[in-house]
Structure 1
Amino acid sequence: MKKTRLILTALYALPLAVQADNNADLKKGERIYKQQCATCHGKQGEKPAMGQSAVIRHFTAEQIVTALSKRKSGEIQGAGNSVKERLSESDMKNIAEFLTRQK
């Protein structure tokens, strides 16, 4: 009975996860990333930017949005903060979804 309940719960949650992913504008995320981020972070987030940041390639979308938000607010200081200050919340989510789908 527990196994059935777990399977049903997982199946119910699946469409919600897919719906959340579909809200992202991947083309916009790709454009912003390539124009403003790739020079320092690499084409797929594989480089530590300016030798100071973490390699973001293996971050989850949530981790990417959190890191961008903390940089934008100044909670995390670094060379890329001025770029992050110009990003909207939707820009951050679009970039995060673009990067996590590159894996």
Structure 2
Amino acid sequence: MKKSVMVLAVLVGLGSTAFAAEDGAALYKKCSVCHGMQGEKAALGKSKIIKDMSSAEIITALKGYKDGSYGGVSKGLMKGQVASLNDAQITAIAAHISK
């Protein structure tokens, strides 16, 4: 019984690390260079002001940039920026921006 409890405790500990919430603020830092610290800038003078977008709109845009189905003049640039992001990271960034 003790062994089962110990194994369960280890698995729960591993699971909580694997499912730890992504830090949207930390992930957003590379975005802030073009979009501003609060998402207040039109990136390269061409993009939407992202602080005015809803979380759902941001998620749609980032996933669309990632799969190539979204974007205008900055589509190619943004595809490279979001290529390494997973769904949890995209959601965390969207939550951070749309506060």
* TM-score normalized by the length of structure 2: 0.70
**Greater than 6 Å deviation, 4+ residue runs:** none
| 1:50–1:79 Cα contact (<8 Å) kept | no
Residue identity over aligned pairs, in percent, reads 34
2:61 corresponds in structure 1 to 67
- Which SS does the other structure have where 1:79 is aligned? helix
1:80 corresponds in structure 2 to 78
- Which SS does the other structure have where 1:54 is aligned? coil
Give the whole-Å Cα distance in 2 for the aligned partners of 1:52 and 1:63. 17
Match of 2:24 among 7, 12, 29: 29
| 1:56–1:64 Cα contact (<8 Å) kept | yes
Alignment of 1:27-66 (within 5 A): 28-34=23-29, 36-66=30-60
The residue type paired with residue 77 of structure 2 is: A
Alignment coverage as a number of residue pairs: 77
Give the whole-Å Cα distance in 1 for the aligned partners of 2:77 and 2:34. 10
The residue type paired with residue 90 of structure 2 is: M
Give the whole-Å Cα distance in 2 for the aligned partners of 1:73 and 1:55. 22
Q: Which structure: larger Rg?
A: 2
In structure 2, stretches of 5+ residues that fail to align are: 1-19
* TM-score normalized by the length of structure 1: 0.67
- Which SS does the other structure have where 1:46 is aligned? coil
